[in-house]
Chain A
Amino acid sequence: MTTHSLSMSLRNEQGGLARVVVLFSSRGVGVERLSLRPAGPGGLFLLDVEVALPPGRSPAQLVEQLRRLVDVREVRHTDEELELGA
């Protein structure tokens, strides 16, 4: 398992958070820390999450899977050793 920090901008109406959490669960990703808070106008929330990835899974791919979600407006890696786009 490797641990990674992600930060996303989320539209949290109608179960937006649930969609993110179910994606983690469906893809075998562990959630070690999670915080959600309102951020700015337009009903957007900021979701910071620390996830544990099974061996062989890349955080870059998880980011792409999160980007498929309509409610996720933006995803960023926040830990520095990550090689985004590698």
Chain B
Amino acid sequence: MDTTGAGALVKALEDVGCEVIFGMPGGAILPAYDPLLDSVKIRHVLVRHEQGAGHAAQGYAQATGRVGVCMATSGPGATNLVTPLADAYMDSVPVVAVTGQVARSVIGTDAFQEADIRSITLPITKHSFQVTDPADIPAVIAEAFALAASGRPGPVLVDLPKDVQAAPVTYTPAPPADRRRPAVSPVQVRKAAQLIATARRPVFYVGGGVIRSGAARALFQLATRTGIPVVTTLMARGAFPDSHPQHLGMPGMHGTVPAVAALQRSDLLIALGTRFDDRVTGSLPHFAPDAAVVHADIDPAEISKNRRADVPIVGDCRDVIAALNAVVTATADLTSWWEYLNGLRTSFPLGYDWPADGALAPQHVIERLSTIAGPEAIYTSGVGQHQMWAAQYVKYERPASFINSGGLGTMGFAVPAAMGAQVGAPDRVVWAIDGDGCFQMTNQELTTCAIEGIPIKVAIINNGNLGMVRQWQNLFYGGRYSHTRLNTHNRLPDFVKLADAMGCAGLRCSDRSEVDAVITEAMAVRDRPVVVDFVVGQDAQVWPMVAAGTGNDEIMAARGIRPLFDEEDE
């Protein structure tokens, strides 16, 4: 087939199964946009800012398990993708970014809208290509997709100089990609099974890799067969049903007391697709001091990075857990372990106080949202207090139902990620649980949603402040609230009017008695996006909390209450 580089690009994207591109055209990517107009297989969603395109590709990828694609022009278009690429790198999200570049003849001359995006993104991509021969385009696109989706997933950049897009070329399909996964060592699996058989206080420490690899069902089988407690990290919420009695919740800085205690008091961590992030471990020397560690991960560079593994297992979680299921037969008597953990569960359940001034409790809003929208919905969040409450108070029952920015902690993630998730899962209700600070960073994509028929729902947990920063200022800076007040309680902006201006339904709720009715009203809006401004109290704090840099034993169930620390003192 005789075509151009641009035609080859579109054909190659069709051939690898790309069904949607989130992007924005500009000078250096113009040739690629011309054949895109004629593609019947690829939908293009015209975003309002390239960052939105990148996060939408992430949301799409996480909702569907497929590779998300974003496209931008050279220079500022490409640099606006840097944050989503860094985010996708940290959270192992398969994304391919296609960027225009200035013509080969002027690369390196500081040409108009020239930025060396390949170099800029070196440390935040799995790999990046700059195509210099149009004949290479099909193979590069095929390799980019294979790289993004295989092994530990992640972002890949393909940079296309404008003259390469315009050059005539004959399209030759790329050979199918190699989809083999690394073999799991049966020796290591047997060693792990031996430890599991004798441990008195084992715990499954489940990370996002279990979701990425589609291993939730296998995990359910392994966990229920063994009766071992399960904790799911921020990236793994939904990998094991919240309703299951073996699930102790989320560990980490804002984890539940029993989940944190399960790690701290454990004699065997069975870590699956997780990377011992500092937000989970707290101070490393004080983390799970008595535990042996089985660590399974597809990325050998993560094993023994922060905590030495006694039994390292390199492999895809699907394969590792299947192998464990085949050999794990017995466990020790876990009765006293469960008695201890259930005691903590009873004494220190997740909970919150209603603000004394009669303001709406943000946790209540999220609890009701979870109940009314249910576990079949997809929830996204930004970063901050609302994100932690979304992790704590939404009940997740299935994988890929919570999409958030864990590793990079990108404010503004929720709205564009929800847009991408809704495109990938058009039959599901998608709720973006957002903060008033986060929302103001990326809400322009609501216009995109309104125009493109992407009916996401946004719950702004509007506490008038950069809430998590304010919480730290309250706890660690003597209550000196330096530059955290956003004035959103003074309706600057007025989110209802803003929603209306962007073609969305806008609702507001500031009273407990109205919460259910407003959520139900929002659920009934199906023909356009809907934004609910939940005006909540500014003083609510996220508890429990392990203060940064301290050991997990110092977890505070609430201010001044240290259940594990006190117990040791006595």
Q: Which residues of A contact B (CB under 8 A)?
A: 14-15, 18-19, 22-23, 26, 58, 60-61, 64-65, 67-71
Q: Contact between B129 and A14 (Cβ–Cβ < 8 Å)?
A: yes
**Which residues on the B side are within 8 Å of A70 (C-beta)?**
126-127, 147
Closest B-chain residue to A25, C-beta based? B123
Interface size on B, as a range, is 10 to 19
Minimum distance in angstroms from B99 CB to a CB of chain A: 14
1/0 contact trace for B401-443 toward A, CB 8 Å? 0000000000000000000000000000000000000000000
Most chain A beta carbons < 10 A, residue from B123, B152, B301, B303: B301
- B interface residue numbers (CB < 8 A to A): 118-119, 122-123, 126-127, 129-130, 147, 152, 299-301, 303-305
B118 / chain A contacts, CB cutoff of 8 Å = 14-15
Interface of A is mostly: helix
Would you call A19 and B122 a contact (CB within 8 A)? yes
B123–A22 CB distance below 8 A: yes
User: In the complex, what residues of A have CB within 8 A of residue B126's CB?
Assistant: 68, 70
Identity of the chain A residue whose Cβ is nearest the Cβ of B147 in the assembled complex: A70
16 contacting pairs across A/B (C-beta < 8 A): A14-B118, A15-B118, A18-B119, A19-B122, A22-B123, A23-B123, A26-B123, A61-B304, A61-B305, A64-B299, A64-B300, A65-B301, A67-B301, A68-B299, A69-B127, A70-B126
Please indicate the chain B residues that have their CB under 8 angstroms from the CB of A69 in the complex. 127
Bound Cα distance from A55 to B157, whole angstroms = 33
Q: How far is the CA of A26 from the CA of B130 in the complex (A)?
A: 22
Cβ of A60: which chain B residues have Cβ within 8 Å of it? Answer: 304
Question: CB-nearest residue of chain B relative to A58?
Answer: B304
Closest to A63 in B: B301
A18, B122: Cβ atoms closer than 8 Å: yes
**B301 contacts across to A, CB distance below 8 A:** 61, 64-65, 67-68
Collect the chain A residues with CB atoms within 8 Å of residue B122's CB.
15, 18-19, 22
Which chain A positions have C-beta within 8 A of B123?
22-23, 26
Q: Is the CB of B304 within 8 A of A15?
A: no
Q: When chains A and B are docked, how far (Å) is the Cα of A15 from the Cα of B108?
A: 14
Q: In the assembled complex, how far is the CB of residue B96 from the closest CB belonging to chain A, in whole angstroms?
A: 14
Chain B residues whose C-beta falls within 8 Å of the C-beta of A18 in the assembled complex: 119, 122
User: Once the chains are docked, how many angstroms separate the CA of A65 from the CA of B123?
Assistant: 11
CA separation between A26 and B300, bound complex, in Å?
18
Which 7 pairs show the lowest CB-CB distances between chains A and B? A64-B301, A70-B127, A26-B123, A22-B122, A64-B300, A65-B301, A22-B123
Residues of chain A within 8 A (CB-CB) of B299 are 64, 68
In Å, the complex CA distance between A65 and B304 comes to: 12
**Contact of A15 with B305 in the complex, beta carbons under 8 Å:** no
* A61 neighbours in B (Cβ, 8 Å): 301, 304-305
Chain B contacts for A58, CB-based, 8 A:
304
- How far is B152's CA from A75's CA once the two chains are assembled, in angstroms? 19
Minimum C-beta distance from B322 to chain A (A): 24
Q: Which residues of A contact B127 (CB under 8 A)?
A: 69-71
Nearest Cβ on chain A to B212's Cβ, whole angstroms: 16
- How many angstroms from the CA of A61 to the CA of B122 in the assembled complex? 19
CB nearest neighbor in A for B300: A64
**Cα–Cα, bound, A19→B129 (Å):** 12
CB of A28 to closest CB in B, whole Å? 12
Which residues on the A side are within 8 Å of B119 (C-beta)?
15, 18
